[in-house]
Amino acid sequence: MSSYYSGKRTRNLFDPKSKEPFTLSRSKLDLFIKCARCFYLDVRLGVGQPPGYPFTLNAAVDKLLKKEFDLHRVANTTHPLMEAYGIDGVPFQHKDMEAWRDSLSRGIRFFHEPTNLTLRGGIDDVWQNSKGELHIVDYKATAKNSEVTLDAEWQDGYKRQMEIYQWLFYGNGFKVSPVGYFVYVNGKTDKEAFDGKLEFDVKIIPYEGDCSWVDDTLVKAKECLMLDKLPSASADCDFCTYRKAVQDALEPFTKS
């Protein structure tokens, strides 16, 4: 997280009068799904939600996994973990892989002509099977005693993330399998001692995505951005609930 948070930015804002294509990140589209008001405040007015602290351990796991799978990408061989799960394929070789992984400024992009929006997202990995189909792969890290699954309600965001990536690759003309994979790394907490070493279990979870919702959601997001008034707050948005509570608490102090 940045050491200085101004609370408001003046760059990368949507201008309803502009005819130029506007770039929308995968995370911003997901923000729209969670809360249209927070999305509007962020993308149209430049008032984003306070950033969270960086998950540096997760980032380290992500970096190491990429290095490991890249060894097999260069050699055009199947990773032993893929073999263990009976996955037909090898890590996909492509000149744009580095750009696709750059979630902050590049990523894979597709221009959605009906809305004049360019959607972009940064992927973790792509595997290719013997049929030439691409499997989108996302790395996740956690530490829990129970079995790692995708069953929790909050993990719906993971599934949407996968489906947006599939939509982006479809849009760029690739042959994409509806089956994506989550490489889930789970830190073991049942060891007798730490001994300066954290061990992990690694599990591959297949997920069959359906990205048919993305087009319609982009249309709704564009309609939201074109409004001249704040959209309604989401009933289960913690940020909107907090802002309302603060407003109510300050009201007695603002009355003359």
**Which tokens belong to 24?**
């929308």
Please report the pLDDT score of residue 254 as a whole number: 81
Q: What pLDDT is attached to residue 105? A: 86
User: Cα(38)–Cα(16) distance, rounded to whole angstroms?
Assistant: 17
- Comparison of pLDDT for 107 and 256, the residue scoring more: 107
**In this structure, which amino acid lies at residue 124?**
D
Query: 0.85 cut: is pTM over it?
Result: yes
> What residues pair up with 201 in beta bridges, in sequence order?
186
Q: Say if CB 13 and CB 45 are below 8 A apart.
A: yes
Better pLDDT: 86 or 150: 86
Mean pLDDT for the stretch of residues 132-150: 88
Q: What is the pLDDT confidence band of residue 147, given thresholds at 50, 70 and 90?
A: confident
8 has a pLDDT exceeding 80: yes
Choice between 175 and 185, residue whose per-residue pLDDT is larger: 175
CA distance 1 to 56: 11
pLDDT at 1: 42
207 Cβ neighbours under 8 A, 6+ residues apart: 150, 159, 162, 179, 180, 181, 182
Residue 186 has pLDDT above 80, yes or no: yes
- Residue 210: the pLDDT is 97
pLDDT in tens, 198-235: 778 899 999 999 999 999 999 999 999 999 999 999 99
Give the fold, CATH level 3, of 22-244: Lambda Exonuclease; Chain A (3.90.320)
Taking the CA atoms of 49, 168, 54 and 143 in sequence, report the sign of the dihedral they define. positive
